[in-house]
Amino acid sequence: MNSRLRVTTAALACVLASLATPSKLSPQQQANVQQHLAPPHYHVFQLSSLGGSVSSGNTINNLGWAMGSSNLTGNASEHATLWVFGLPINLGTLGGPNSNIGWPVKNDHGVIAGVSEFSNAPDPNGEKFSCPVLLPDTGLSCAGFRWENGHMTKLPTLGGPNGFATGVNNLGQIVGWAENMVHDPTCTPPQIFQFEAVIYGPRTGQIQQLPPLPPDPDSAATAINDLGQVVGISGICEDAIGELSAEHALLWENGKPIDIGNLGGKAFNTPMAINNHGQIAGFSDLPGDVVDNVLVNVNFHAFLWPVNGKILDLGTLEGDSISEATAINDQGQIIGTSFTAGFASSRAFIWQNGEMTDLNTLIQPNSNLFLISTGDINDRGEITGQACVLSGGACTNQLVAFIGIPDFNDDASAAAQTESNPRKIAIPDTIREQLQRRLGVKH
């Protein structure tokens, strides 16, 4: 696909509005997904960039819209990006240089949520807040945004300078977290303000605070389903990124926090997605991660909840030691990323019917892409994520967004690919640092 193709937001606003209608799987499509005990073969396609050498597909809805971010020419900034029919649409920013869509946008009516820097001036308090999770570490303030019909709108905070928006459902409710003006003694300087989980909307300007699990002072919401069930984290403030900010993995039912448990660790207990059956996927540390309230070992594994009412450790791909689940669809398929120790290499995976499979073993042979991380999976089983472009069998610094389309009529090919020896490819330091920053491992 020609990377020079550009589509302006204004030119496609009418097209997007006409496409943004509810999309449900037919009975036959549901049967295709559910009847397969093994994951299908995938046809993987590279998505065009906005001119730079780094793009990432972070979420995909049932309309087939892939969303994430792409660098502009020169790689000096990244913008929230929507891919429709494989074409990139630059959604712009709130006024600053960078923006991104990073969490599950499960809205099939054209509503998108993300985070953007809203000024070119440094944060007045010197805070980084959660901005560097998805944006370059520029020292600028950030806020959540709502995008619809070609217009990006800044979402409110709880009175503080910064905010963050993550998931959005088909009711138009957006979740995230926002700062208030409380000076929190559990913050690690330069972070000073407390932050709390919030629901935005569905009415314009509406914001509802969700309480943390007592006695935690801080919380954040990451995803919401069409039943209004919200998942997220609570803990202490720290840097407002990962670690002990995510001491407790939460489900909010009717605004009340419920601790869903963990895999034995004290940090990085993070739900990433919730489907419309109330199943939750994410990642959680194992025992031995924290000693005397200091993180000494990052050892999280992907998890599924509930399984007979108990959180389930999904493990890792063979030979790896760390994993995260990033998404779950209504069919119960889970995707995520598996890492070797020290994040030296990473591979995208799909978990289905109790088995974790390297997605790189399920794609077309001789692909020049290596799938290093996942973003999201929709109810059709379509996947988006990030891949490195291979040269001489090694990852280059060119990172691209991809979309994987399942072929449910190609079982023999999928089985043959699955039996082949999966590859492990070392990733460049720049890629490893980006993945660690997104996970909150490297600030």
What CATH number does the domain containing 294 carry? 2.120.10.30
Mean pLDDT of 367-374: 95
Q: Which long-range contacts (CB under 8 A, 24 or more apart) does 19-22 make?
A: 19/63, 19/84, 19/110, 20/63, 20/108, 20/109, 20/110, 21/108, 21/109, 22/108, 22/109, 22/170
> Is 361 a residue whose pLDDT tops 80?
yes
For range 196-218, the mean pLDDT: 95
**Would residue 155 count as lying in a domain?**
yes
Tokens of 361: 């073993």
Does residue 97 fall inside a structural domain?
Answer: yes
Proportion of the chain above pLDDT 90, given as a percent: 76
Per DSSP, what are the bridge partners of residue 115?
A: 100, 144
Of 405, 403, 400, which Cα lies nearest the Cα of 48?
Answer: 400
Instruction: Give domain status of residue 364, yes or no.
Output: yes
Q: Mind giving me the DSSP string for 254-284?
A: TTEEEE---SS-SS--EEEEE-TTS-EEEEE
pLDDT of residue 442: 57
What band does 409 get if pLDDT is binned at 50, 70 and 90? confident
Closest among 342, 391, 435 to 54, alpha carbons compared: 435
pLDDT of residue 416: 41
- Residue 283 resides in a domain: yes
Residue 354 pLDDT grade (very low, low, confident, very high; cuts 50, 70, 90): very high
Look over the chain and give the mean of its residue pLDDT values, rounded to a whole number.
Answer: 89
> Which candidate, 371, 363, 410, places its Cα nearest to that of 387?
371
Is 2 within a domain? no
Domain range for 179 is: 9-439
Examine residue 3 and state whether it is found in any structural domain, yes or no. no
Q: pLDDT (tens digit, 9 = 90+) per residue, 65-89?
A: 999 999 999 999 999 999 998 899 9
- Whether omega before 306 lies within 30 degrees of 0, making that bond cis, reads yes
User: In total, how many domains does the chain have?
Assistant: 1
pLDDT of residue 205: 85
Tell me if 272 sits within 8 A of 316, measured CB to CB. no
Task: Specify the pLDDT at position 308.
Answer: 80
Could you tell me how many residues make up the chain? 443
Q: How far is CA 407 from CA 4, 39, 368, 404, 411, in A?
A: 29, 10, 19, 10, 8
215 CB contacts (<8 Å, ≥6 apart)? none
Residue 4 lies in a domain: no
Give the distance, in angstroms, between the CA of residue 80 and the centroid of all CA atoms in the same chain. Answer: 13
At residue 35, the pLDDT reads: 53
Tell me how far apart the alpha carbons of residues 406 and 392 are, in angstroms, rounded to a whole number. Answer: 27
Quick check: is 229 in a domain?
Answer: yes
Report, as an integer, the average pLDDT of 379-390.
96
Instruction: Say what the pLDDT of residue 423 is.
Output: 74
pLDDT tens digit string along 280-292? 999 999 999 999 9
Between the CA atoms of 89, 93, 99 and 103, what dihedral angle is there, to the nearest 10 degrees?
A: -70
Is pLDDT of 17 > 60? no
Extract the tokens encoding 273.
């997605």
Residue 248 pLDDT > 60: yes
From CA 157, how far away is CA 152, in angstroms rounded? 16
Output the CA angle 260-265-271, nearest 5 degrees.
40
